[in-house]
Amino acid sequence: MKHKITIACLLLLAGFVVMPASAQQKYSPKRTKKLQNLRKTYQNKYVNTRLKAYKRAQTEKMPLRLVEEDGSIIELQGYSKPQGGIPLYLATDNINAAKTIGTYNTQVQLGLTGSGVTLGIWDGGGVRTTHQEFGNRAIQKDSAAALSSHATHVAGTMVASGVNFGAKGMSPNANLHAYDWNDDLIEMTNESAQGLLISNHSYGFIHGWRFSSSTGWRWYGDTTVNDTVDYRFGFYGDRSRDWDQLAYNAPYYLICRSAGNERNDNHTGEHQYYNGTAWVTSTTNRSPDGDYDCLGTDKVAKNILTIGAVEDITGGYTQPADVVQTSFSSWGPTDDGRIKPDIVANGSSVYSTDDDSDTDYTVKSGTSMSTPSVSGSLGLLQQHYHKQNGRYMRAATLKALVIHTADEAGPADGPDYQNGWGLMNTRTAADVINNDKQLAIIKEDSLINGVYRILTVKATGKEPLAVTIVWNDVPGTPVAPALNPRDPMLVNDLDMRIKHWSGVYKPWKLDPANPSAAAFTGDNVVDNVEKIYIANPRAGYYHIVIKHKNTLVGGGQAFSLVATGITKGSLFFPVPENLKAENVSTSTADLHWDRAGYYIGYDVRYRVQGSNEWTVIRKVRRPHLALRNLTQGTTYEFQVKSSVKRKRRRRHYFWWNNDFLDRFFSSAYSPLATFTTSLPCVASFPYNESFENGFGQWTQSTNDDSDWTHYSGSTPSSATGPTGAKDGTFYAYMEASVQGVGYPNKKAVLQSPCFDVSGLNQATFKFSYHMYNESNQGSIALEASNDGGTTWTSIWSPADSVQQDQWLDVEVDLANLLGGSLKLRFAGTTGESFRPDIAIDNISLTTDQDSQRKSKGEAASQVNLQTVTISPNPASDQVAITTEAQNNDLVNFSLINLNGTILKSVPVRSKSVVATQTFSVGQYPKGVYFIKVETKQGVVVKRVVIN
């Protein structure tokens, strides 16, 4: 009957909704909705799993819940497999805390009590909320099966008010929301959506060996994976991923989990193990749990804080030797080598509240006790940060702060798999909050793909320089069950380095193959925590560089940074973003980018694409810059970085440090952006282009997915395009495939020069196109613009989507587009098949005034400009330029380098309709240059190579 009641309660819980508390951290409606959907996912997954497990357990006569003689609780949650597998039992992790981790000093000296902060607790039963230590601050939010001594003790360690001073909790004025451990992820997701910042979980699944007064020794490993070692120790499984998923989607919610007490559990001789259907007796020799690699699979999630247990330090920490490990606290590594536990705290002989009466107290030990010491202390730190800044820290920031300020523990400097990053020091963490923006930095930022951050700091030279970054990583993908798989569960791999003229400093890392070895520095590819510690830095400036490997999943990654050992004048400059060029003409362009912050200037550099020679413009005060005297028809690339300079410090200062900056600081340069200057408008007609000499004055767009190709003969893939040009030898085409397969929905744009069609009454645009016999071959459109290319309108596309293997001729009437300037472009889009390439050739633009212009000699002038000859080309000593021109016309010849600098310019009067000029070029560096020929009828620019 008792089992039936439990299942009935479970069915009621499946539909529960947690009523909103006073939210501590408000999320956007979009993120709140995401968390609500995640709660539904967990509800469907875990409630159904446990219902099936209860029914199976009843059939196999397995206990659902047991309270042991020592007060520990175990309760069935499911089975590792629908058929066979092993039963999954949760168990409490039990086996003079505030002084050990510096919380007492923080309470007394800074007056912090956790006021205004709500903490969460999930445990093996209900909290005695009527205890005199809780007043009206503790609420049991669900219908727990029974009161629990363990849960009440943990709650007291977190928030007891100190009626009995020896039992005073870490956050004695904080509120507490309590739940039992059934449906934990569902309830946690709902609470996080309401603004919960911190929760405590002093329990975990049973792994390896366990003794029970009712069953004796049992081994909880899965013999189908390994017969002597429980593979789940250190294994990143589904449960690990689900806890990471919640933490990733609730960025202000830090989950605190006990490391467990499995270390040194061992038995030889007769015992029981589960064979897939029942517990059976065995005498097989199986491995002891630990020393190393005895963290349960639910303890090794990346985005939580895992806490181990050490002996009490009643006088407070003074040196690493003061930190003594308990005999039971579980040690790392995780299977992929990550540093776990994250931190340690006192878990031995902790005095706190008990559940027998409202005035009852007791002493307990275990990582169950060390974890509430930490979670309660975190409430003080969030209270303090909110008081100083008016907002709360992200979970990754709080975790970074705790790791960064931990006291050194263990046999060697740096982290280890016993103590993680060290013994928590609440007072030191609070001091860093006090010194933020002055002698320390607490920074929340993010990376996007292809961008990195630089923070320049000034080390005092009198204390260590330390920098820590932490990020809530995308959940990993568990591998198939196996013993110690080394597959990294890190998804977005951020990298931190500190650069100085004396060398490059790298973060701590550990070797899982040699877990007792001391930490060393190098490229950490497994942890979502990186810490660099420079014990004896030289006084001066250090550059903290944060980059990423590969492509960031999700397009970006938030991270948190803590730095100490610095002086005033350290500043984090963001890299300018969203670079673009507007109002691009033949010789000018207006550059724009997003503002990087107040009191920040910019350095801009640009160059001709393909050149190694930058032009740098400094002291740009606003996020835009006008470039002039550019070369027509040329593609440029540019970058921007943010900066502050000495000359501007009296007018442009930054109150981050409440002080002026005392030297030059800057960000890294932004990713490259490009633009192409236009050519002069064509004003003489008819105009013809058959791509016999490249693309002529037609240009490729930089805002599309692919490019057009200048080609002759058959396209590379047979039966996919034309076998030759429509006119002459060459044509333009866009490829429909990549490595023999379709390349769908990729756009390529080929744009005409500007046409001057003012004063015309009629104009016709003609061309030939080829699209080869496929129903899903993509599309081609002719588009027009009368505003210089800002807006485009489609004026033609094929009526029939299926074409034959032939060139088709098209005429388009431009009468409705006359009266000013006109640009045209071909916009091609690939289809799903690899076959249909799209080709263009035989372009012309004719007008009603062609004959009139010929009679006035205008056509001859156009022909002359188009028949400029350069000889020799390439040239090494001299180059001669010749053009036809009307008799006695003034023709200007110029030699220009890739940066647009005019090296030589000579005016010449034409004689006998020919103008000639020779330039000496031997004194110039080898490379590409431009010859510019100008007459009153127009301008021509051609390239010349000097070798």
The answer to whether 144 and 125 have CB atoms below 8 angstroms apart is: yes
State mean pLDDT over 153-162: 95
The answer to whether 699 and 751 have CB atoms below 8 angstroms apart is: yes
The answer to whether 679 and 753 have CB atoms below 8 angstroms apart is: yes
Which is nearest to 748 in space by CA: 781, 711, 713? 781
Share of the chain above pLDDT 90, in %: 51
The answer to whether 845 and 763 have CB atoms below 8 angstroms apart is: yes
Rounded Cα gap, residues 364 and 383, in angstroms: 28
pLDDT of residue 454: 79
The answer to whether 826 and 781 have CB atoms below 8 angstroms apart is: yes
pLDDT of residue 735: 81
Last residue of some domain: 792, 824, 855? 855
CA distances from 408 to 256, 307, 348 (A): 21, 15, 19
| Amino acid, single-letter form, for residue 929 | Y
Query: Is the CA virtual torsion 496, 498, 504, 508 positive or negative?
Result: negative
pLDDT of residue 654: 33
Name the percent of the chain in helix, strand, coil, to the closest 5. Answer: 15, 35, 50
Across 738-750, b (16+ Cβ under 10 Å) vs e yields eeeebbeebbbbb
Same domain, 830 and 914: no
Rounded Cα gap, residues 235 and 480, in angstroms: 10
Same domain, 651 and 742: no
Higher-pLDDT residue of 64 and 153 is 153
pLDDT of residue 142: 94
Higher-pLDDT residue of 668 and 186 is 186
Share of the chain above pLDDT 70, in %: 87
pLDDT of residue 758: 81
Three-state DSSP state, 640: strand
CA distances from 341 to 112, 370, 422, 758 (A): 27, 12, 9, 76
Which is nearest to 781 in space by CA: 878, 704, 714? 704
Which phi and psi (to 5°) does residue 33 adopt? -60, -40
Higher-pLDDT residue of 758 and 104 is 758
The answer to whether 135 and 173 have CB atoms below 8 angstroms apart is: no
Number of domains in the chain: 4
Same domain, 658 and 718: no
Residue 238, pLDDT above cutoff 50? yes
Last residue of some domain: 402, 435, 468? 435
In the DSSP assignment, the letter for residue 116 is: T
- How does residue 45 score in pLDDT terms, banded at 50, 70 and 90? confident
Same domain, 789 and 905: no
Residue 310, pLDDT above cutoff 50? yes
Q: Does residue 304 belong to any structural domain of this protein?
A: yes
Rounded Cα gap, residues 858 and 542, in angstroms: 66
Across 327-350, b (16+ Cβ under 10 Å) vs e yields ebbbbbbbbbbbbbbbbbbbbbeb
State mean pLDDT over 15-28: 52
Residue 255 in tokens: 């989950």
The answer to whether 417 and 323 have CB atoms below 8 angstroms apart is: no
List the CATH number of the domain containing 886: 2.60.40.3080
pLDDT of residue 834: 60
312-321, 440-449, 767-776 — most confident range = 440-449
Q: Are strands 747-751 and 821-830 parallel, antiparallel or unpaired?
A: antiparallel
The residues, ordered by sequence, that sit 6+ positions from 862 with a Cβ below 8 Å of its Cβ are 684, 937, 938
Rounded Cα gap, residues 373 and 154, in angstroms: 9
Q: Does residue 391 belong to any structural domain of this protein?
A: yes
- The helix or strand, by DSSP H or E, that contains position 768, with its residue range, turns out to be strand 763-771
State mean pLDDT over 240-261: 96
- The helix or strand, by DSSP H or E, that contains position 443, with its residue range, turns out to be strand 440-448
Of 44-53, 737-746, 778-787, 864-873, the range with the lowest mean pLDDT is 737-746
Mean pLDDT of the chain: 85
Same domain, 605 and 728: no
Which phi and psi (to 5°) does residue 903 adopt? -85, -35
pLDDT of residue 839: 92
- The strand ranges marked E within 193-232 are 198-201, 203-205, 209-212, 216-219
Residue located via tokens 């002989």:
349
Residue 436, pLDDT above cutoff 70? yes
pLDDT in tens, 749-778: 999 988 988 878 899 999 999 987 555 667
State mean pLDDT over 266-294: 93
Burial class (CB in 10 A: 0-12, 13-18, 19+), 886: middle
- The strand ranges marked E within 816-936 are 821-830, 838-847, 869-871, 878-884, 890-896, 902-909, 914-920, 927-935
Rounded Cα gap, residues 396 and 401, in angstroms: 9
Rounded Cα gap, residues 522 and 502, in angstroms: 17
Same domain, 83 and 125: yes
Residue 527 in tokens: 């942890």
Residue 759 in tokens: 């004063």
Of 249-258, 357-366, 830-839, the range with the lowest mean pLDDT is 830-839
pLDDT of residue 626: 94
In the DSSP assignment, the letter for residue 343 is: E
pLDDT in tens, 29-39: 888 988 888 88
Q: Does residue 528 belong to any structural domain of this protein?
A: no
Of 7-16, 143-152, 279-288, the range with the lowest mean pLDDT is 7-16
pLDDT of residue 826: 97
Q: Does residue 220 belong to any structural domain of this protein?
A: yes
User: Largest Cα–Cα distance in the chain?
Assistant: 118
Across 78-109, b (16+ Cβ under 10 Å) vs e yields bbbeeeeebbbbbbbbbbebbbbbbbbbbbee
CA distances from 201 to 36, 138, 188, 694 (A): 21, 16, 11, 69
Of 41-45, 669-673, 729-733, the range with the lowest mean pLDDT is 41-45
Residue 9, pLDDT above cutoff 50? no
pLDDT in tens, 843-865: 999 997 654 443 333 333 343 44
- How does residue 797 score in pLDDT terms, banded at 50, 70 and 90? confident
List the CATH number of the domain containing 701: 2.60.120.200
State mean pLDDT over 700-705: 81
The residues, ordered by sequence, that sit 6+ positions from 261 with a Cβ below 8 Å of its Cβ are 93, 94, 95, 309, 328, 329, 330, 366, 367, 368
Q: Are strands 198-201 and 175-180 parallel, antiparallel or unpaired?
A: unpaired
Higher-pLDDT residue of 283 and 2 is 283
State mean pLDDT over 922-940: 79
Rounded Cα gap, residues 566 and 46, in angstroms: 48
Rounded Cα gap, residues 311 and 105, in angstroms: 19
Residue 772 in tokens: 């080869």
Residue 510 in tokens: 């550990």
Same domain, 286 and 225: yes
The answer to whether 377 and 174 have CB atoms below 8 angstroms apart is: no
Same domain, 414 and 292: yes
Higher-pLDDT residue of 442 and 944 is 442
Same domain, 348 and 213: yes
pLDDT of residue 774: 57
Same domain, 167 and 66: yes
Higher-pLDDT residue of 884 and 459 is 459
Same domain, 719 and 627: no
Rounded Cα gap, residues 851 and 859, in angstroms: 9
Q: Does residue 504 belong to any structural domain of this protein?
A: no
- How does residue 293 score in pLDDT terms, banded at 50, 70 and 90? very high
Rounded Cα gap, residues 446 and 565, in angstroms: 23
Question: What is the CB neighbour count within 10 angstroms for residue 221?
Answer: 23
Rounded Cα gap, residues 569 and 498, in angstroms: 17
Same domain, 809 and 908: no
Q: Does residue 931 belong to any structural domain of this protein?
A: yes
The pTM score is 0.62
Beta-bridge mates of residue 734 = 838
Question: Rounded to a whole number, what is the distance in angstroms from the first to the last CA of the chain?
Answer: 96
State mean pLDDT over 906-928: 85
- How does residue 569 score in pLDDT terms, banded at 50, 70 and 90? low
State mean pLDDT over 312-319: 85
Last residue of some domain: 790, 821, 855? 855
pLDDT of residue 14: 34
Rounded Cα gap, residues 97 and 310, in angstroms: 10
Provide Rg for the chain, Cα atoms.
37
Q: Where are the alpha helices (DSSP H) in 327-366?
A: none
Three-state DSSP state, 106: helix
The answer to whether 683 and 464 have CB atoms below 8 angstroms apart is: no
pLDDT of residue 42: 86
Residue located via tokens 């939010």:
141
List the CATH number of the domain containing 185: 3.40.50.200
The answer to whether 160 and 353 have CB atoms below 8 angstroms apart is: yes
For 246, the domain range is 12-435
Q: Does residue 179 belong to any structural domain of this protein?
A: yes
Q: Does residue 653 belong to any structural domain of this protein?
A: yes
Residue 213 in tokens: 């007064």
- How does residue 644 score in pLDDT terms, banded at 50, 70 and 90? low
Which phi and psi (to 5°) does residue 91 adopt? -145, 145
State mean pLDDT over 58-76: 80
Residue located via tokens 């776990």:
340
State mean pLDDT over 293-305: 96
155-164, 341-350, 709-718 — most confident range = 155-164
